[in-house]
Structure 1
């Protein structure tokens, strides 16, 4: 595991974008696993800027999102479909047919989970999976539990997660109660993983995830079992590491 700390958010964003750009320059048809939330926004800005400058093309790439809320129309401003269009996909040259996000409005959510797994399997292993981490250690929306799901599944979002996302909705009660998420097994199949964490409020969970025991009570701790993980931290998020 390669852990890098940055004093500057700009430098952190450039490092994260640089990893993705390097992969695309080497393999234009790369499969990328992408995350949402506040953490990746700066990296997506750098990726869009690199495209505008003619440094990279996404025309042959495929992207798969980690998750989507259940019950939000794609046009809802807080759906992850809208998020991705706003922050990245609408600003680069990737064809829509190569952009994959779970359908949180599917009539049969279990069938939608299986469909998403099939499309992932057909695309081949994810070349790089970007992740953030929740305050309770979740990756994607894989919440702490006695057991973790390996494949795409429906999850009941814990109160702490809904409270953390309330800033996007105005209040916790408006945050959807369920989401569709890739499983931990799918995430760990990626060839490379990029974990990005910012802020002093994440220092404790970063220490648990990276230096504590591997446990289903902290899903991010399973990243310790992966052979190729790069962690980008600002100095606040990394303050608890020895």
Structure 2
């Protein structure tokens, strides 16, 4: 069962689309990719936590390249601790903020061993205690690894939610709660993946590809682009 938003609906900006239109958006996105998954490579909840934490201000492609050899050596917190921070840093030095991220990987691995028996917890309150893990990272892990219908709002989802008018908000928390409020239960599990992929490849930041958009006729964006001959 989906958790109720923590912010009262009356405090959230009003969607510019009705529920039928929002359902239509999800149906269109579902038709393009019925069962989307994260583009990060991982083998278990632990490697997922590490990969998502490393992906901050980095691309999934870059993280996958950096973690391929790392995860081959260390796919548990115990193995990661045995490698040590210097070795972890050498593996991930091609991604942004690699020094801080390497330190956090070791710290979160130590906390998992010390406080959780080496097992990744399946709830947000415990996940966000881990160094380098914030609300968005926790939501990704809960959705991808534990099958919970969370909404991990990144810059792509924030943009899509506001541009389309389906769930406007002034910050990522407002957008998250608004999306949880308006997303029908039948689409809740995959909703955040559909919106991320749509923002990453179609509703891009500078020049959205409205001319090749499955939801263009529903979207309330006022500056729709046309194909260039």
TM value normalised by structure 1: 0.25
Higher fraction of helix: 2
Greater C-alpha Rg = 2
TM value normalised by structure 2: 0.26
